[in-house]
Structure 1
Amino acid sequence: MNENTIRALILEGENSWIEFKRCGNGIESDVYETVCSFSNHFGGTILCGVLDDGTIQGISEKAIASLKKNFISVISNPSMFSPTLMIEPKSVKIDGKTILCIQVPSSSEVHTYKKVIYDRVFDSDVKVTATAQIAEMYIRKQNVFTEKKVFKYATINELEPGIIEKCRNLAILKNNEHPWKNLNDEQLLKSAHLYGKDWQTGDEGMTLAGLLLLGKEDVIMSVCPTYKTDALLRRVNLDRYDDRITIYKNLVESYDLLMQFAQKHLPDKFFMEGIQTVSLRDKIVREMVSNILMHREFSSAYVSKFIIEKEQIYTENPCRAQNHIEITPEHFTPISKNPIIARFFSNIGYADELGSGTRNLFKYSQLYSGKKPVMIEDTMFTLSVPLDENYSADYQINVPTPKNTRSDISEREQKIIAIMKETPDITAVQIASELGVSSRTIENAIKNLREKRYIERQGATKDGRWIVIK
């Protein structure tokens, strides 16, 4: 790494892959925490001898050799790092001052430092303790596809009645000579790799891809308990929502419901493409919806979301990311996270070939609002499509303003009651997260509501539910 490259990194400032360390008294423990987090995330560069504001302070020339030796000794010590690492720091002179440059590659394994797992979140090194987060990190490191998991006892009876015929007709509508045209249901499932064999165990059955694409709701919730997709409209009530649907249905039916939600709440614009009139809204939403359904990591506990706001349409979905990157038509390598599901969506016309979605979004978004979309690939894939600045003025919805009918409780406590009505099994911690306040604040509010007999708790703390009395 040369002087010009390091200057460019310093100008960029600290972020997910750049960290500055003073190292005035040697290499401190927080340097190794960053090494661990970069290894577990997408890699990064640590510049020792640089202050947080980017000022180059430098390190004593006499200390450089011992610092390098101590660093290598720590990262190769199995009692400190597990698994151990092989990284060699490089010293570089800038403006007459020596700094130590540590380039940390992304590892194929999950590492611990002093028996603690660290991950990189923006410009911070975060301890990872939750089981779901740790599992997600291991999945991110594995070159496997969750969708291929075989369920030995799952058969065609676990699928939604009539859905195979629906998909066959969609495929024929797209291509009148489609191979599915002459296949029976069982042959179609095997042809689409929705029914397969686990070559390690010899088990045969429906794959997770098949159940997610076509399965009954109760079957999906059994094999994938955290699966759901939220669609939210936030234009008047910015704290919560003006309209919402929570979808637990299979991916094919989810696609239809999300498209309907968008058509209900977004204005349309039309564009002449050749000799055809094209709905820009439907073109954009199709790409956004198919993305959050096809490319999500289904083992993750995070929920996929489709959100319409005043100034943007926004989606997020858990992702088995290859790196941290902003995706543009000029700067991306299309990699399918769930190739079986993606191929099925392409067959029935719900998506196009891999990579075309990005090009379409940039093309149609600029025609729709005059602005470019923003796509960030990370463990949570986010996509934002700006809306026309006249959208708020031209497309109003009629949402009644909530009235304070309970004069003896606060507005926040009324929101808590509304949340409990909609989600009776919600926890205080989850309510705190949704409202953006501390858990202690919510616990005090719940105590007040119980004392005033607005709510009561039915069942145990973990397995119970809230009852709204009045």
Structure 2
Amino acid sequence: MDASELAAVLEHGENISVEFKRCGVQPEADAFETVCSFNNRFGGSIYLGVLDDGTVEGVNRSQATAIERNLVNVVGNPKLFNVAPAIETERIEYDGRLVIRVWVPAGPAVVSFKHVIYDRVADVDRRITSETQIAQMHIRKQNHFSEQRVYRYLKPSDFRFDLLPRVRKLAALKTPGHPWAEMDDMELMRSADLYGVNYDTGEEGFNLAAVMLLGKDEVISRIAPAYKTDVIVRRENLDRYDDRLIVTTNLIEAQAQISEFAKRYLPDRFMLEGDQTVSPRDIIIRELVSNLMIHREFVSPYPAKFLILNDGIHTENASKAIFQGQLAITSFKPVSKNPFIAKFFRNIGLADELGSGMRNLYKYSKPYSGKDPVLDDGDVFEAFVPVRWVEGDVAAGDLSVHSKDEHNQDETANDPSEQINDPDGTVNGTVNGTVNGTVNGTVNGTVNGLTERERSLLNLIGDNPSLTYRQAASALGVSYNTIWRALQTMKGNGLITREGSDRRGTWRILTPSQPSRE
């Protein structure tokens, strides 16, 4: 490296593979923490004699040999490093000062320094202490695809071959005349690389990809006990959830279950693409769910998540990443995490070519929400697609499929004509149902400057100070979000106030022109 190359590094600053360190007569302990973290991540360069802000201070030339010797001695000391990382040093002349570059390649083993494991996250050396994080690091160090692991004692009876007629049908719909249509079950499994030889070990049999795609539930639970996808809707009950689905079945059925669940809770909007109408929501769900199925590390203890929150859709899944940080569509270079599973999904039309998922998310997120998605790769891959909720959109509390949790603490979405009970026992009365779109009880017309909805809400609160958002939404026949916005506006305008929590508190009317009742 010459001075011009170093200048470019200094300009860009520290990152996941670049670290600046001041250095006196010998490197400080934090330099060796960085050696450890670089070895455990993707490798990197430490520049001794450079301050954190990129200012070149240089090292003492008379101490350069001693510094390099100290680096070699410390990394080779088994009392300090459990495994000796490989390092190389290079001297760089820069503006009359000497900088020592220490290059640390990624190593095949998980390394600790002074019995502490460090990992590189952005420009920080982070201590790793949890068993889950350490397990993920070991997974990252594997130099093969875990989906190819062969289980030679698995038999055809351990699989859901009853799903193969559906697989053949989907493959034929995707590609007319697909060869799978004429194959028997075992021929199809071999063609899909789900049964074969692991040339690393010489073992022959069904592999992990076969188990995850077509295994019976009890077989999956024994081979991948941590495997599950947790699908949660959390838009009203922020402490728990509004609805939840836990999926532990094979990937083919899991893909359908998660997709249908998500469609019930996300608003659908259509756009014209050429002369055809398409649903951005369905395409976004397809890409996010397919990513959870295809590009995850199934031997990791980290469960996958599909979350529908007030700001949008969040997904998380364990990954075996070669890149750490936010992905950009302009520089993204896709790498298949599970090529056998990905190929299977492409054959049955549930995924397209590598990299198309990210392009589709960017393409359809903008018309769906007005914003771009955010994708972060690392030991855990995280995706976020914003959702723009508008009046009339489906809300979790408005759906008849809304389910109570195991403690029966969720409120239920009741029919407006039925009596509405507060599960906490705080409501002493009931909210009357609506008749022909009007609320029982009238508001005195002398209350000026209020909308009809605000007058109706004041009337409901007067009847029942413990009124909940969902009760009000049911009584007025509108969505939960509409009521939430209306009540927040009324609070901001000084008409009402909330005393206590949203769940157990009560409303109090502040306006002197309190509505009267006939």
Structure 1 window deviating more from structure 2 (182-191 vs 6-15): it is 6-15
The Cα shift of 1:181 comes to 0.9
Q: Which residue of 2 aligns with 1:152?
A: 152
Work out the CA distance in 2 between the residues paired with 1:405 and 1:329. 49
Structure 1 window deviating more from structure 2 (160-169 vs 12-21): it is 12-21
Q: Report the number of matched residues.
A: 405
Kindly provide the amino acid, as one letter, of the partner of residue 341 in structure 1. Answer: I
Kindly provide the amino acid, as one letter, of the partner of residue 265 in structure 1. Answer: Y
Work out the CA distance in 1 between the residues paired with 2:15 and 2:216. 43
Structure 1 window deviating more from structure 2 (222-231 vs 398-407): it is 398-407
Kindly provide the amino acid, as one letter, of the partner of residue 398 in structure 1. Answer: G
Work out the CA distance in 1 between the residues paired with 2:359 and 2:370. 15
Q: Does the Cα contact within 8 Å between 1:64 and 1:91 map onto a contact in 2?
A: no
1:265-309 CA distance string (max 9 Å, x none) = 111121223332211111111111111110111111111111122
**Secondary structure in structure 2 of the residue aligned to 1:233:** strand
The Cα shift of 1:16 comes to 3.3
**Secondary structure in structure 1 of the residue aligned to 2:333:** coil
Q: Which residue of 2 aligns with 1:83?
A: 84
Q: Which residue of 2 aligns with 1:171?
A: 171
Aligned CA distance change for structure 1 residues 53 and 241 (closer, same or farther; 3 Å): farther
- Matching of residues 29-48 of structure 1 within 5 Å: 29-48=29-48
Q: Which residue of 1 aligns with 2:141?
A: 141
Aligned CA distance change for structure 1 residues 88 and 190 (closer, same or farther; 3 Å): same
Q: Once the two structures are aligned, what percentage of the paired residues are identical?
A: 44
Structure 1 window deviating more from structure 2 (126-135 vs 144-153): it is 126-135
Alignment RMSD (CA, Å): 3.0
The Cα shift of 1:48 comes to 3.2
The gaps in structure 1 that reach 5 residues or longer are 408-470
**Secondary structure in structure 2 of the residue aligned to 1:162:** helix
Work out the CA distance in 2 between the residues paired with 1:334 and 1:108. 23
- Matching of residues 267-278 of structure 1 within 5 Å: 267-278=267-278
The Cα shift of 1:184 comes to 1.6
Q: Which residue of 2 aligns with 1:28?
A: 28
The alignment status of 1:321 with 2:324, answered yes or no, reads no
Aligned CA distance change for structure 1 residues 312 and 10 (closer, same or farther; 3 Å): farther
The alignment status of 1:93 with 2:87, answered yes or no, reads no
TM-score by length of 2: 0.70
**Secondary structure in structure 2 of the residue aligned to 1:205:** strand
The alignment status of 1:281 with 2:281, answered yes or no, reads yes
**Secondary structure in structure 2 of the residue aligned to 1:281:** helix
Kindly provide the amino acid, as one letter, of the partner of residue 84 in structure 2. Answer: P
Aligned CA distance change for structure 1 residues 14 and 244 (closer, same or farther; 3 Å): farther
Work out the CA distance in 2 between the residues paired with 1:406 and 1:195. 58
Q: Which residue of 2 aligns with 1:356?
A: 356
The Cα shift of 1:204 comes to 3.5
Q: Which residue of 2 aligns with 1:125?
A: 125
Q: Does the Cα contact within 8 Å between 2:307 and 2:313 map onto a contact in 1?
A: yes
1:2-43 CA distance string (max 9 Å, x none) = 556656655655543343433345311221111111111022
Q: Which residue of 1 aligns with 2:233?
A: 233
The Cα shift of 1:172 comes to 1.3
Q: Which residue of 2 aligns with 1:397?
A: 396
- Matching of residues 375-390 of structure 1 within 5 Å: 375-388=375-388, 390=389
Work out the CA distance in 2 between the residues paired with 1:239 and 1:27. 48
Work out the CA distance in 1 between the residues paired with 2:50 and 2:234. 43
The Cα shift of 1:161 comes to 5.8
**Secondary structure in structure 1 of the residue aligned to 2:396:** coil
Aligned CA distance change for structure 1 residues 351 and 59 (closer, same or farther; 3 Å): same
Q: Does the Cα contact within 8 Å between 2:39 and 2:106 map onto a contact in 1?
A: yes
1:141-186 CA distance string (max 9 Å, x none) = 2321111122222222222362111111111121221111111222
1:419-445 CA distance string (max 9 Å, x none) = xxxxxxxxxxxxxxxxxxxxxxxxxxx
Structure 1 window deviating more from structure 2 (318-327 vs 182-191): it is 318-327
**Secondary structure in structure 1 of the residue aligned to 2:352:** coil
Work out the CA distance in 1 between the residues paired with 2:133 and 2:318. 11
The Cα shift of 1:334 comes to 2.1
Structure 1 window deviating more from structure 2 (7-16 vs 217-226): it is 7-16
Work out the CA distance in 2 between the residues paired with 1:102 and 1:237. 52
Aligned CA distance change for structure 1 residues 91 and 64 (closer, same or farther; 3 Å): farther
Work out the CA distance in 2 between the residues paired with 1:237 and 1:298. 30
Q: Does the Cα contact within 8 Å between 2:212 and 2:250 map onto a contact in 1?
A: yes
The Cα shift of 1:203 comes to 4.2
Q: Which residue of 2 aligns with 1:223?
A: 223
Structure 1 window deviating more from structure 2 (261-270 vs 83-92): it is 83-92
Q: Which residue of 1 aligns with 2:193?
A: 193
Kindly provide the amino acid, as one letter, of the partner of residue 23 in structure 2. Answer: C
Work out the CA distance in 1 between the residues paired with 2:101 and 2:391. 49
Work out the CA distance in 1 between the residues paired with 2:310 and 2:51. 40
Q: Which residue of 2 aligns with 1:412?
A: none
1:216-238 CA distance string (max 9 Å, x none) = 21110011111111112222233
Greater Cα radius of gyration, structure 1 or 2: 2
TM-score by length of 1: 0.77
Q: Does the Cα contact within 8 Å between 1:305 and 1:317 map onto a contact in 2?
A: yes
Aligned CA distance change for structure 1 residues 202 and 16 (closer, same or farther; 3 Å): closer
Work out the CA distance in 2 between the residues paired with 1:6 and 1:391. 52
Q: Does the Cα contact within 8 Å between 2:232 and 2:243 map onto a contact in 1?
A: yes
The gaps in structure 2 that reach 5 residues or longer are 399-409, 413-421, 427-518
The Cα shift of 1:54 comes to 5.4
Work out the CA distance in 1 between the residues paired with 2:306 and 2:368. 18
Q: Which residue of 2 aligns with 1:340?
A: 340
Q: Does the Cα contact within 8 Å between 1:92 and 1:101 map onto a contact in 2?
A: no
1:110-144 CA distance string (max 9 Å, x none) = 33434543222344434445555444333322321
Work out the CA distance in 2 between the residues paired with 1:136 and 1:74. 27
Work out the CA distance in 1 between the residues paired with 2:239 and 2:64. 52
**Secondary structure in structure 2 of the residue aligned to 1:398:** helix
Work out the CA distance in 2 between the residues paired with 1:237 and 1:62. 66
**Secondary structure in structure 2 of the residue aligned to 1:226:** coil
Q: Does the Cα contact within 8 Å between 1:310 and 1:392 map onto a contact in 2?
A: no
Aligned CA distance change for structure 1 residues 199 and 65 (closer, same or farther; 3 Å): closer
Structure 1 window deviating more from structure 2 (30-39 vs 17-26): it is 17-26
Aligned CA distance change for structure 1 residues 66 and 153 (closer, same or farther; 3 Å): closer
Q: Does the Cα contact within 8 Å between 1:76 and 1:86 map onto a contact in 2?
A: no
